[in-house]
Chains A and B, each alone.
Chain A
Amino acid sequence: MTLSNTPFNPLDRPAINPLFLFRWEEQEQAYLLLYPEGIIKLNDSAGNILNLCDGERTMESIIAELKVLFGADDIDGDIYNFMEVARGKGWIKAED
């Protein structure tokens, strides 16, 4: 992957890697990531986070929305960690 290694910052706008297809699958009642060699069924929180990675929203606003959605306040660290893992797996990239 040619993705940069600098950590995400609050103004980055994470977006799904265009090689992947991210969508809700009614039959699985889950968000899926489809890519050339496979299919990943995401758990609830991962699916809800990726659903906001549209290349428009900044990290700041994603975290603000998730706080409401998850009804939790102390999640900044977890979200940043998740984003790094997701980027490491090539699911998302940062646009600025």
Chain B
Amino acid sequence: MAANTHPPEHHTSTGLNHRKLLMWTFLGSECLFFGTLIANHMINRNKAAFIHDLPPSCILDIPITSVSTFVLLMSSVAMVLGVAAAERADVKQMRIWILATAVLGIIFLLFQVYEFQAFVNEGLTIGTNLFGSTFFILTGFHGAHVTLGVIWLLSLLVTSYKRNDLLVGNPLNVDIAGLYWHFVDIVWIVIFTVVYLVGAIGLTCTEVGL
């Protein structure tokens, strides 16, 4: 790699790329963002009227969500392979894996659309009760992050056709998108565990009648 392809930002006082440092700082602040939304849900999920005489967490569909969790996990694997390909300057593989990541991200979003619709049909909307509002705010913001990630990845893909020099000489452009994407995945790891598994565990989800 010729030295003159290095953008000037490589020469920083820390010797580190500052866009990457900025991304990590941003992700640190995102921990606070999602942390409070998760706590908000944990605190309030049981302060809600029952839905069809059942505790609201009974509405969660663990098998379906396990599948969508797996899909997001696979997207993270595809992403890391895309980053590795970008760093080898293997343009073809890079395109394949970035596209695969975006497609898996879209599938995850479709699962979420399906889930939200199912909930609304069951009578749970963002305005129904505290469970609904905290749940939709949390998972909705996560979905928005995935959407942004998909757009970012697709724009990288377009870039690889129009201005490939921006990616081949600078794998960091793919790497930073990857950092964002993996972060969105780890947020889901926490949501899946805390909201879905821990939230629905030990519930008696049969009619109690009133």
Query: Do A and B associate with each other?
Result: no
Q: Which residues of B contact A (CB under 8 A)?
A: none
